[in-house]
Amino acid sequence: MTKPNLLYIFTDQQRADTLQCYGNEQIQTPALNGLADESFVFENAYVSQPVCSPSRATMMTGLWPHTAGVPSCNVPLAADVPTIAKMLPDAYRCAYMGKWHLGDEIFPQHGFDTWVGSEDSYRHSYSSPERLLAFSPYHHFLLDNGFEPDIVNQGQRVFSRHMEAGLDEPFTKASYLGEQAAQFIRDSGDRPFALCVSYLEPHPPHTGPLNDLYDPWSLPVGPAFMKPPPANAPLITRLMAAYYMASEEYGLDLQTEEGWRRVLARYWGNITLVDRSVQKILVALEESGQADNTIVVFTSDHGEMTGDHGILGKTLMYEESVRVPMLIRAPMLGRTQKKIPGNFSHIDLVPTLLDLMETDRPDTLQGQSRTPVLRGGLTLATNDVFIEWSGADGHPPRSIGEAEVNRSMGEPLRTVISADRWKLNLYEQGQHELYDLNTDPHEMKNLIDTPIHQDRIRNLTDRIRRWQMQTGDTVPLPEE
């Protein structure tokens, strides 16, 4: 038998509680439910940074964003930083499909010889002017089906995300990527493959062909829904909540509960849209006869607030923003669901996958293989996880929407979530945060000023500083 294949699927902006295996009994995700039934399900999985590019750098390279050279959004991943595709033996056929958001969006790179781009929105990050004459395969797919571009981007007419999101299901990015990935698997032949499928959905714009699939008033919401952050929360958090609670986004009035619930319903609809696409890929994998020799991963690059604490989007250290689904189906270890308690970080994903794929890991990786945990020999019971924030978008922010709020988000921030489920957010400037996730999982009470917790704060601060020293993180943080 050849070495194991890899099917690495991830969405953009999907919080953990949108799957049945994380407690959501209403959302319609039968394909992902079926995958979870045969997978290791990590109960508390965290991203390296709650925004696209830095998180994706970690997911592709096994390096922290500050090490990979992608400290903020829209910063390209340098050509000399190897991805998992470069770490695999030459026998592997490596393919990338969908959103990249690490520079030169639609062009083959970083060891992936097959490339099916879907995004024409990141043309400002292309490395040379002549590349502006190229368009994604998805763009050509829409042209071939009679659609006309509706905006000008960097001198060329392209399709806007709002236009794309208004298409019927067969013409959506999700459906297109499902078909492309399924065909790649059917055509894979005898060579082992590593296929990454990266969905834009459920990233904004919060609209799609399944907008009306869910009754907004039937959807469950938690105690933080439309509730402002604690009075002693950092200023930026309170500003973001005030902004969104007084705004109109994606044609919905967020001054009203109805508006927020419609955002949530549309968000769920786009997750179901992804699920239908994933079903095509998983069916193709089974029909190819390769499912028992293929590791399947499902996760997301960060979460989405969807109204919790009165905020829309990501970029914050709240659980809704940093905690994501994390499924690994490793047939060589069985195909029954096993819940993995404890904290897991995306920094450990690449080394874990290389281990499962029987491939030596480079010494440069900053995480560790968690395969011993999957095999039952070890646990995550003592594992702290760390999350970083190093600034806003790597290009001039827009004058409206979330990027406008991001003008105030240039201050670095480091977070530790301890093995015993305490979270410390340590800012370069301004108010810090301490939450007891055991008794306050929705982070409603900032305990940073509570006298009885000062020793704990010092201990957690020391852990962050040790992590900084170990990983070469030079961001200055305040003294105690």
C-alpha distance from residue 107 to each of 47, 135, 226, 293, 430 (Å): 26, 9, 41, 29, 41
Average pLDDT for residues 17-39, to the nearest whole number? 98
Average pLDDT for residues 113-141, to the nearest whole number? 95
Residue 469 has pLDDT above 50, yes or no: yes
> Which of the pair, 478 or 131, is modelled with greater confidence?
131
Residue 407 belongs to a domain: no
Lowest mean pLDDT among 334-338, 341-345, 392-396, 441-445: 392-396
Q: How far apart are CA 380 and CA 73, in angstroms?
A: 30
Matching residue, tokens 């509570």: 450
Q: What percent of the chain has pLDDT over 90?
A: 89
Question: Token pair of 261, please?
Answer: 């619930």
pTM of this prediction? 0.95
Cis peptide bond upstream of 202, omega within 30? yes
Q: How far apart are CA 285 and CA 384, in angstroms?
A: 35
Please give the pLDDT value at position 478. Answer: 81
What residue numbers bound the domain in which 168 lies? Answer: 5-374
Residue 413 belongs to a domain: no
Q: Residue 214, CB half-sphere, CA atoms under 13 Å: how many?
A: 24
Residue 235 belongs to a domain: yes
Residue 38 has pLDDT above 80, yes or no: yes
Q: Residue 167, CB half-sphere, CA atoms under 13 Å: how many?
A: 24
How many Å from the N-terminal Cα to the C-terminal Cα in the chain? 56
Lowest mean pLDDT among 108-122, 386-400, 417-431: 386-400
Residue 472 belongs to a domain: no
CA angle 8, 9, 13 (to 5 degrees): 135
What sign has the CA pseudo-torsion 73, 167, 156, 131?
Answer: positive
Q: Residue 363, CB half-sphere, CA atoms under 13 Å: how many?
A: 0
Question: Token pair of 279, please?
Answer: 């079903």
Please give the pLDDT value at position 9. Answer: 98
Q: What percent of the chain has pLDDT over 70?
A: 95
C-alpha distance from residue 283 to each of 52, 92, 178, 292, 393 (Å): 29, 22, 10, 13, 38
Please give the pLDDT value at position 11. Answer: 98
Residue 371 has pLDDT above 70, yes or no: yes
Q: How far apart are CA 377 and CA 371, in angstroms?
A: 9
Enumerate the β-bridge partners of residue 193.
Answer: 93
Distance of CA 456 to the CA centre of its chain: 30
CATH code where residue 254 lies: 3.40.720.10
Let me know: does 126 contact 132? Beta carbons within 8 Å: yes
pLDDT, mean over the chain: 94
C-alpha distance from residue 180 to each of 95, 116, 175, 373 (Å): 11, 8, 9, 34
Q: At 239, give phi and psi (nearest 5°).
A: -65, -40
Enumerate the β-bridge partners of residue 114.
Answer: 95
pLDDT digits (tens, 9 = 90+) for 58-76: 999 999 999 999 998 889 9
Residue 446 belongs to a domain: no
Instruction: Report the number of distinct structural domains present in the chain.
Output: 1
Q: How far apart are CA 148 and CA 163, in angstroms?
A: 10
Q: b or e along 57-90 (b: 16 or more beta carbons within 10 Å of the residue's beta carbon)?
A: bbbbbbbbbbbbbbbbbbbbbeeebbbbbebbee
Q: Which one, of 454, 477, 472, 443, lies nearest residue 316 by Cα?
A: 443
Q: Which one, of 61, 51, 11, 58, lies nearest residue 393 by Cα?
A: 51
Q: Which one, of 387, 409, 385, lies nearest residue 397 by Cα?
A: 409
Residue 138 has pLDDT above 80, yes or no: yes
Enumerate the β-bridge partners of residue 423.
Answer: 417, 435
Residue 480 belongs to a domain: no
pLDDT digits (tens, 9 = 90+) for 140-179: 999 999 999 999 999 999 999 999 999 999 999 999 999 9
Q: Which one, of 271, 249, 261, lies nearest residue 216 by Cα?
A: 261
Average pLDDT for residues 111-115, to the nearest whole number? 97
Q: How far apart are CA 181 and CA 184, in angstroms?
A: 5
Measured N-to-C along each axis, helices 349-356 and 52-61 cross at an angle, to the nearest 10 degrees, of 30
As a dihedral over the C-alpha atoms of residue 222, residue 228, residue 234, residue 236, rounded to 10 degrees, the angle is: 110
pLDDT digits (tens, 9 = 90+) for 178-189: 999 999 999 998
Residue 425 belongs to a domain: no
Please give the pLDDT value at position 408. Answer: 52
Q: Which one, of 193, 349, 197, 186, lies nearest residue 278 by Cα?
A: 197
Residue 397 has pLDDT above 70, yes or no: no
Residue 295 belongs to a domain: yes
pLDDT digits (tens, 9 = 90+) for 420-464: 999 999 998 878 999 999 999 999 999 999 999 999 999 999 999
Q: How far apart are CA 444 and CA 437, in angstroms?
A: 10
